[in-house]
Structure 1
Amino acid sequence: MSARRQRVGAYALSIDEAGGVLLCRMSRRSRTPGTLTLPGGGVRHGEDPGDAVLRELAEETGLTGRVEALLGVHANVYDSDGVSIHGVRLLYQVTIVGGTLRAEQGDASTDGATWVAPEDLGGVTLSAHARHALELLAAASAGTSRS
């Protein structure tokens, strides 16, 4: 049996006034280089997930935000260097309130941050939790419920 661990993360879904989605590009240091994902990452021991999502947003994009709502949860199991990881991702709707957009600094898991127009989303490779967050937002906007 391979080693197992659980990882809890918090991720920000931010939409601009034109409907663009704030996304980060996974670096070659990550498992999925080139994939676009939501800004976010691991919740530190003892850290409130709402604080974690805002910390990660600032680290990965240079932007500051305000949590509006918890959209839902995305979970899956994946392998990383022979370790079975149970990833649990809390997906937050976040409004951007300040800062200047930039890429994450240093040797990081992401190497770019950008706003992607709604009409361009179909032509990019999105992480599973980014797709799930967009589906949750669409369902909430349509007045339906999904988890």
Structure 2
Amino acid sequence: MTRTRVITVYGRLPGGTEEIGGPIRHGENPASAVVRLFRESAGLPVAVSGVRDVLALTTPDLHEDRVLFDVVPADAPGRVDAEPASESELPKGQRFAAYGFVTDRAGRVLLTRIAPGFPGAGRWHLPGGGTDVGEQPAEALLRELYEETGQRGEIVELLGVTHRRSSGLVGPEGYPMNWHAVRALYRVQVPEPSTPSVTEAAGGSTASAAWFEPGDLAGLPVTEVVQWAASLPATGE
């Protein structure tokens, strides 16, 4: 049986237990979505203060990728992005993925290079990828980390959630699509690093993997997610 997949966002007020939210629209910023849903469902103006958790909720018929935000009351309605214009001529796809800013104890950063034929080919990216049906985001990341680099990692913390709308890109499907990706980003440490190697299970989207010194990243062609993660302060782990 094929399970329906949906991406949802929910918010929780300080000291509360009730979660308010619902499905995210195609192309919508997840943080803006939870502000919109609080306004529509409860008539409450709120602002996002942080990301509490990212998890998958599954039933025999449904796989729900849920982002849970911490929200606080706002004096005025929070900013809500306008719903992106529909591009009906292109097939739509929505994808939930998990990626890791992966380091070893020496501070080196592990990156993967996108293979030819995939969007962003040739650029260095964070290890990770789309989650499978029934799979938790953190579990998916550690699986992808091993498939793409041969490294065994440990989750340190959830860094945040980003999204990207890419219209007209041609990937392995062979035709242009209107993609919307929601991505959970984690900090990961590899306690026993080795020479990276791409396994057959990676599925062909990863051309190679390598460790880099932090100072080397500025000279590499990297994705915007690498830039975002590298700009975050270290946790002291």
Normalising to structure 1: TM-score of the pair? 0.86
- Name the structure 2 match of 1:18: 106
Moved over 6 A (4+): none
CA deviations over 1:28-48 (Å, ceiling 9, x no partner): 132222100111000111100
Matched, 1:64 2:152: yes
Matched, 1:73 2:161: yes
1: CA distance, partners of 2:227 / 2:189: 18
Matched, 1:83 2:177: yes
> Once the 2 structures are TM-superposed, how far is the Cα of residue 99 of structure 1 from its aligned partner?
6.1
- Name the structure 2 match of 1:123: 219
Identical pairs, percent:
37
> In structure 1, the residue corresponding to 2:98 is in which secondary structure?
strand
Matched, 1:3 2:91: yes
CA RMSD of the aligned region, Å?
Answer: 1.9
How many residue pairs align between the two structures?
Answer: 140
- Name the structure 1 match of 2:208: 112
Contact 2:100 2:185 in 1 (8 A): yes
Contact 1:29 1:108 in 2 (8 A): no
Higher Rg: 2
Report which of the two has the higher share of helix: 1
Unaligned stretches of 5+ residues in structure 2? 1-87, 171-175
CA deviations over 1:10-64 (Å, ceiling 9, x no partner): 1111122332211011111322221001110001111000100000000000001
Normalising to structure 2: TM-score of the pair? 0.55
Contact 1:77 1:84 in 2 (8 A): yes
- Name the structure 2 match of 1:35: 123
Unaligned stretches of 5+ residues in structure 1? 142-147
Greater RCO between the two (CA within 8 Å, min separation 6)? 1
Matched, 1:133 2:229: yes
> Once the 2 structures are TM-superposed, how far is the Cα of residue 116 of structure 1 from its aligned partner?
1.1
Contact 2:158 2:187 in 1 (8 A): yes
